[in-house]
Amino acid sequence: MPPLLDRLGRPLRNLRLSVTDRCNLRCQYCMPEEEYVWLPKADVLRFEETMRLVSVFVGLGVDKVRLTGGEPLLRADLPVLVRMLADHPGIRDLALTSNGVLLREHAAALRAAGLHRLTVSLDTLERETFRLLSRRDDLPRVLDGIAAAAEAGFTELKLDTVVIAGVNDGELPALLEFARGHRAELRFIEYMDVGGATHWRLDRVVSRAAMLASLQRAYGPIRELPRTDSAPADRFVLPDGTTFGIISSVTQPFCRTCDRARLTADGMFYTCLYARTGTDLRAPLRGGADDEALRTLLQTTWSGRSDRGAEERAALPDRQPLAPASTLRTDPHLEMHTRGG
């Protein structure tokens, strides 16, 4: 079957599957406000409903699924869903992104259920900076969770660092050394102005060029590796062979190769992280639609896709946060923690 393409010729290959909008941290770049409007629990998809939608996505070309949140480990009985996904013959890559706080309790069960890969958010190695960023004192639990992931047998561990000027941009070499010591690959991420980032300012973005310049001062010449897939990170290698990535969504967007769809915990389908509107899949799913009707809905939505959200944001003359807090409270689907970051 030929791949399903959008209007810019981009295939549907990756599904970011949010299982909850709840989180146990309050990171400044994602959830900086004090109060949030949460999705009604009755609207959250049951695992059987999630699997039915995933199967339709797989039938249209998706073969990579990443579980996200919020914090996915807050979802009760998550290993049950992991096993259901791992047993699906059409899914060749199954990953999960976590803040790491609950990994010590869950890593072994996730591995036993068939999860292939883990990514852990690690923005700092300094306890006070962690408190500043997340408004929680959980850095020791995150570091212990990373150790637990290795003990459970996760060998392709990735660590994600959102780099913010004046906050953690002086820690890049230390974070790289930590990743190397834990046999993980670090990915530095430019601070993005997506929903939820209500305190975002352009002068707080540390660009890919600035990151590379900082790392070159510490390590010497850095070589960029050729691309082998549509992953958002550009990968680099240090003189000693250590590899790392940079996701430069602000200064060098990757919209032209983006093959990602997003499904929220309550069944909203988004074709771009910056999209203002999505397609409701829960209503037809619970209203009795058969798989062919759901397939047609997904096909129509993806084939009409022309999103270039990050590129369009980059062209704005006076770039501000995507949405004010007042707007986010009226539509929680605009939040990054709702649609899977």
pLDDT, residue 341, reads: 66
Whether 2 is in a domain gets the answer: no
Whether 29 is in a domain gets the answer: yes
The CATH number given to whatever domain includes residue 102 is: 3.20.20.70
pLDDT, residue 177, reads: 97
Low-confidence ranges of the chain (pLDDT < 70): 341
Whether 251 is in a domain gets the answer: yes
Residue whose token pair is 């999209």? 275
pLDDT, residue 42, reads: 97
Phi-psi region of 166 (alpha: psi -120 to 50; beta: other; left: phi over 0): left
Whether 128 is in a domain gets the answer: yes
Q: Is 148 exposed, middle or buried (0-12, 13-18, 19+ CB in 10 A)?
A: buried
Angle at 156 between CA 261 and CA 181, to 5 degrees: 130
Question: How many domains does the structure of the chain reveal?
Answer: 1
Query: Hey, which residues does 274 pair with through a beta bridge?
Result: none
Backbone angles phi, psi at 94, to 5 degrees: -125, 115
Contact between 24 and 322 (Cβ < 8 Å): no
Residue whose token pair is 């981009």? 10
Contact between 246 and 188 (Cβ < 8 Å): yes
Whether 118 is in a domain gets the answer: yes
Whether 5 is in a domain gets the answer: no
Structural domain range at position 55:
14-339
pLDDT, residue 335, reads: 86
DSSP tag of 45? P
Whether 88 is in a domain gets the answer: yes
Contact between 236 and 197 (Cβ < 8 Å): no
What are the helix (H) ranges across 171-245? 172-181, 208-219
Whether 7 is in a domain gets the answer: no
> Which residues, 6+ apart, have CB-to-CB distance to 88 below 8 Å?
51, 54, 55, 58
Distances (CA, A) of 79 to 112, 117, 157, 249, 266: 8, 14, 18, 31, 19
